[in-house]
Amino acid sequence: MAEIDARLREDVHQLGELLGDTIRAQRGAAFLDKIERIRKGAKAARQGSADGAQQLTTTLDSLAEDELLPVARAFNQFLNLANIAEQYHHVRRRGPSEPEPFEVRVLPDLLARLKADGHSAEVLARQLGRLDIELVLTAHPTEVSRRTLIQKYDAIAAQLAAQNHGDLSAHERGQVKQRLQRLIAEAWHTEEIRRSRPSPVDEAKWGFAVIEHSLWKAVPSYLRRADEALHAVTGLRLPLAAAPIRFASWMGGDRDGNPNVTARVTREVLLLARWMAADLYVRDVDQLAAELSMQQANSAVRALVGDSAEPYRALLKQLRERLKATRAWAEAALAGDLPAPSAVLQSNCELLEPLELCYHSLHECGMGTIANGPLLDCLRCAATFGLFLVRLDIRQDASRHAAALDEITDYLGLGRYAEWDEEARIAFLLRELSNRRPLLPAQFQPSADTAEVLATCRVVAAEPEVSLGSYVISMAGAPSDVLAVQLLLKECGLQRSMRVVPLFETLADLDNAGPAIDRLLGLPGYRARLQGPQEVMIGYSDSAKDAGTTAAAWAQYRAQETLVEICRQHQVELLLFHGRGGTVGRGGGPAHAAILSQPPGSVAGRFRTTEQGEMIRFKFGLPDIAEQNLNLYLAAVLEATLQPPPVPEPAWRELMGRLASDGFTAYRAVVREHPQFVEYFRQATPEQELGRLPLGSRPAKRREGGVESLRAIPWIFAWTQTRLMLPAWLGWETALNSALARGEGELLALMREHWPFFRTRIDMLEMVLAKADGAIARLYDERLVDAELRPLGAKLRDLLSQACAAVLGLTGQSQLLAHSPETLESIGVRNTYLDPLHLLQAELLARSRLRESTVDSPVEQALLVSVAGIAAGLRNTG
């Protein structure tokens, strides 16, 4: 087995030692010795030592009540520090003889390959400049770390970079080590878990902080590299206003099942975004005004500033004053409705124009080198983020719109909308959408729920178009779901077009997506209201929870194929919005491979996807890491557009259909049909405790009930904590073994070699199985599960073993991830710290269930820290 790079191992060792010094300073050498015994016992146990396992169990069992939390915190911090070192290792400085990482080479290599394959320079430049990729940041209860701690982690990464300079003196190296020691001590002495749930506004501020501290720097940097790569291959440049990747957000707009997201919250978040954008531009323009002291300017700049001795400063100071006015107005408007003064910037053109004037003038006057510095970076940010920072999506469940219309039609004496069939609903909605008179009388007094729906629609109508993204309808299933939102928006004063997006989530809805969109596009007047692409959201989380990942993945693929064909027939551009999570069980996995595995024609220069939970921090929390991930998105969407994957062979489709059917039956037989499953799930995992913990602003359940009532996130998260990872693989073991038993092994191998969709699914399955651990799951059963339910746990662990064997049979390997020894080694290193946390969590769950613990109790605090540590240690399955 290949070992982790020596430099990474050295960084992990150094950070661990410094943490140990901090723990010793606070709690003494005896406590640190106890931590070390636990770590060594876990490592020996992993290597098969019975003595090591006994040492680990004995030491954990002997912990006093007041030691539970500090032990959990110690291993949590070890895992976070290992993450920091690993993240930094991805972006560290390379020596002259070291190759650049794939994430840096991916776009230049792709452009060269596309040029060699016959794509002209003009086509490459035009397509790259026109890409429309939108990453939608969402808040979910898997990001448990506090913002203040995340900032300390970022500072630790910066110090790792500082010490990587080979020419440091002994004194300078000592200073870096002192700063690292201080930062680690600050992190250790900072409570890592929030005591109360964040509000939706808190979550939005967290998202803004990622932009402020990372993406604001990463965006101009990745665009600069993309421009250089394009020029090297084609001799052409990206347009000045090119923004192939933009950002949207659900934080403060996603009200699906979250009563804490109200119209007032949405308005507040929109104003905070304007304030933050203005504040960031004020800082940049201040700096530019200080630097651009040149005297020479072209006639366009002179026409605006006259005879000024420092024309660029004069022009930028005008812009700065307007930005300050915008910032002041946004802050004041938070307290109540306040008309915007004339100085407030209202359109992105007003922001871009003075910056572009300066840029062109500097070039015309022979100062292109100056123009291409921080001024160009500011222009790139302005093109990407605009005046509104991110476009805010609105999301609401289809049933809420139907209930509002039911109340309205009943009040008007028109009957009960809820009781009408689809044809009656469509007829009514089309009639009212084309009617010039209002539907709602002034004296209508709606119920609280309907009033909130209408208030949200009024906020949408009142806000500038560019500040908002799409209106997403959860659990959509029919054309009337889309028309209902359009009518409610019209009644609340919306006089422009807004993308209203059906989200198809369950297996049945995915199968019906094509016919529903076909009917919608054929309705009279609908195309006139569309005014742009037809956006459709594909749900990964709920379809996987509903049917298992085998059947869900194939349903998602087929739905996309059908939608591509239907929109082609209607001559309407299609924009697919992928509702992926960070975990494999929710459609997650490496973005580059996932994009390249989409059906041909489904990525045609456009791509929209969610970035969820803790994955936002892991992928975009540091500028250099963010830049690498933006490069991956850019390259993958360009390649999928110009060189789409092959159309699957009929035999592949038939076999995939059999795999999906077998996987669906096997998954449902356990999750929906086994009479003990729900009770086993609640005893064996921390599902119920996760619902109590202050992890996010949204409730863990949509409603009371069994598995179907759970949100996809706690459903996945609970299984991840016990390392069974059940939602990500259940069903595949039966599907693959049945195919192998039918003698279809050669065809499976052929599909894996030549069909990116199938290869990516198997790769993600292999990765999650490598992180799954039946032995750890068994320990939870032994401590937490009633005796009569344990046979079910044993059966599930046997199915896990079958899934592993099936993947090994398909890949021809003797060990999962044998082709990626560094990943295996990384998992192994983390297990040394994860194993004690799992054992400790099982004990904490048992203690918590024996007594009614408050959130502030040591047991509950230690439990929450264990949740955070396990999530950190497992990364993209956490």
pLDDT, tens digit, 9 for 90 and up, residues 392-430: 999 999 999 999 999 999 999 999 999 999 999 999 999
What mean pLDDT comes out for the span 157-164? 86
Phi-psi region of 743 (alpha: psi -120 to 50; beta: other; left: phi over 0): left
What mean pLDDT comes out for the span 762-770? 94
CA–CA gap between residue 224 and residue 552 (Å, rounded):
39
Lowest mean pLDDT among 406-420, 441-455, 833-847: 833-847
CA–CA gap between residue 221 and residue 198 (Å, rounded):
32
Q: Select the more confidently predicted residue: 312 or 45.
A: 312
pLDDT tens-digit series, residues 681-723:
999 999 888 876 665 555 555 555 556 656 666 788 899 999 9
CA–CA gap between residue 647 and residue 656 (Å, rounded):
14
- Domain 263-388 in CATH 1.20.1440.90? The answer is yes
Lowest mean pLDDT among 12-26, 40-54, 543-557: 40-54
Q: What angle do CA 304, 308, 314 make, to 5 degrees?
A: 65
Q: What is the DSSP letter of 212?
A: I
End-to-end CA distance of the chain: 25
Please tell me the total number of residues recorded for the chain in this structure: 878
Q: How confident is the model at residue 2 (pLDDT cuts 50, 70, 90)?
A: very low
For residue 500, what is the enclosing H or E element? strand 500-504
What is the SS3 assignment for 609?
A: strand
| 443 phi, psi to nearest 5 deg | -85, 0
Res. 861: pLDDT tops 90:
no
Q: How confident is the model at residue 877 (pLDDT cuts 50, 70, 90)?
A: very low
pLDDT tens-digit series, residues 335-351:
988 999 999 999 999 99
Instruction: Give the Å distances, CA to CA, from 526 to 417, 517, 532, 534, 803.
Output: 21, 11, 12, 11, 47
| Angle subtended by helix axes 29-46 and 821-850, to nearest 10 | 120
What mean pLDDT comes out for the span 570-578? 96
Instruction: Give the Å distances, CA to CA, from 231 to 227, 360, 394, 795.
Output: 6, 19, 39, 58
Closest CA relative to residue 712, chosen from 832, 593, 583: 583
**Neighbour count for residue 557 (Cβ, 10 Å):** 23
pLDDT tens-digit series, residues 427-441:
999 999 999 999 999
What is the model's pTM? Answer: 0.92
Res. 43: pLDDT tops 90:
no
Residue 701 designated active-site: no
Question: Which tokens is 409 given?
Answer: 């039609």
CA–CA gap between residue 502 and residue 473 (Å, rounded):
5
Res. 27: pLDDT tops 90:
yes
Contact 608, 580 (CB under 8 A): no
Q: What is the pLDDT of residue 141?
A: 47
Q: What is the pLDDT of residue 325?
A: 98
Mean pLDDT, the chain, rounded, equals 91
Closest CA relative to residue 129, chosen from 248, 237, 215, 218: 237
Closest CA relative to residue 720, chosen from 839, 824, 874: 874
What mean pLDDT comes out for the span 188-214? 85
Q: How confident is the model at residue 260 (pLDDT cuts 50, 70, 90)?
A: very high
Q: How confident is the model at residue 158 (pLDDT cuts 50, 70, 90)?
A: confident
Res. 360: pLDDT tops 80:
yes
Res. 230: pLDDT tops 90:
yes
Among the options 34, 213, 545, 838, which is catalytic? 545
**Neighbour count for residue 434 (Cβ, 10 Å):** 12
Q: What is the DSSP letter of 190?
A: S
Q: What is the pLDDT of residue 583?
A: 47
Residues 6+ apart with CB under 8 A from 338: 329, 332
CA–CA gap between residue 425 and residue 818 (Å, rounded):
56
What mean pLDDT comes out for the span 117-142? 90
CA–CA gap between residue 804 and residue 813 (Å, rounded):
11
Among the options 34, 43, 140, 401, which is catalytic? 140
What mean pLDDT comes out for the span 813-826? 87
Tokens 């070192």 locate to: 85
Res. 489: pLDDT tops 70:
yes
Q: What is the pLDDT of residue 592?
A: 87
* CATH of 393-576 among 3.20.20, 1.20.1640, 3.55.50, 3.40.1800: 3.20.20
Domain spans of the chain, in order of start: 263-388, 393-576, 650-877
Res. 582: pLDDT tops 60:
no
What mean pLDDT comes out for the span 774-795? 96
3-state helix, strand, coil in the chain (%, to 5): 65, 5, 25
Q: What is the DSSP letter of 876?
A: G
Q: What is the pLDDT of residue 543?
A: 81
Residue 140 designated active-site: yes
Q: Select the more confidently predicted residue: 774 or 103.
A: 774
Distance of CA 792 to the CA centre of its chain: 33
pLDDT tens-digit series, residues 586-645:
444 578 888 999 999 999 999 999 998 678 888 898 899 999 999 999 999 999 999 999
Q: How confident is the model at residue 857 (pLDDT cuts 50, 70, 90)?
A: confident
Lowest mean pLDDT among 226-230, 404-408, 539-543, 866-870: 539-543
Res. 852: pLDDT tops 70:
no
Counting residues of the chain whose pLDDT is more than 90, the rounded percentage is 71
Question: Which tokens is 57 given?
Answer: 């169990």
